[in-house]
Amino acid sequence: MQAHYEARMQVAEADIITRCQQGDLHAFEVIYAQHERQVYRYAYHLLGNRDDADDVKQETFLRAYQAIGRFRRDASLQTWLLRICGNLCRDKIRSWERRKVAATDLYAEENQRPTPPESDPAYIVEKSETTDMILRTLNGLPSLLKEAFILHELEGFDYTEMATILECSSASVKLRVFRARKMLKERVQPLLKAR
């Protein structure tokens, strides 16, 4: 049943891409509707800022629209869009570094979320603090490791798809994920013990 569903989705995606390449704007609207949330989420995880993530999302789809005629279909549409998004995020981060813009807390917006209506406020506070600590630690990883960790652990991509997005080998991707996990563990464990 799952294989039949995936085959139908591939046919539908191929049809939509063909229609886009023939200039059908409605077909591109379908692509945008299907992928904009994941592209935004990926950009947000890499950049940590909603406005920047939204800008990158818009630029990703603009570039995709301009280049859809050259899309070779050697990767999935989703992978292609995330590759564009990742490249734009890396460019933005490099521009921040060139200007020496220091982000004091890329995940400050996470602290502004409303308190869930659960019965144990202490648990909620502890969970929130732990999540914030892990996100800040993740932000401190080298960008290649951070991006690999986000794609694998948060976005659920397999190593082959990640290799396409990151434009490197599967072995390199596996090593990056391994190193990211190790660094996170080394950095988070002492903080959790200190609590």
Give the model's pLDDT for residue 4: 45
Give the model's pLDDT for residue 137: 81
Query: Pick from 153, 150, 130, 131: which is nearest to 142 by CA?
Result: 150
CA 166 and chain centroid, separation:
11
**C-alpha separations of 143 from 63, 93, 185, 194 in Å:** 23, 9, 17, 27
Q: Which residue has the tokens 């920047």?
A: 52
Give the model's pLDDT for residue 35: 95
Cβ atoms of residues 28 and 65 within 8 Å: yes
The domains found in the chain, sorted by start residue, are 1-103 (1.10.1740.10), 107-195 (1.10.10.10)
Instruction: Report the run of H or E that residue 78 belongs to, with start and end.
Output: helix 77-99
Give the model's pLDDT for residue 120: 54
How do residues 57-105 score in pLDDT, each as one tens digit? 999 999 999 999 998 888 889 999 999 999 999 998 888 776 654 444 4
Cβ atoms of residues 81 and 60 within 8 Å: yes
What is the reported pTM?
0.66
Q: Which residues of the chain have pLDDT under 70?
A: 1-11, 98-131, 191-195
Give the model's pLDDT for residue 38: 95
Give the model's pLDDT for residue 136: 79
Give the C-alpha separation, 108 to 181, whole Å.
23
User: Roughly how many angstroms between the first and final C-alpha of the chain, as a whole number?
Assistant: 48
CA 181 and chain centroid, separation:
17
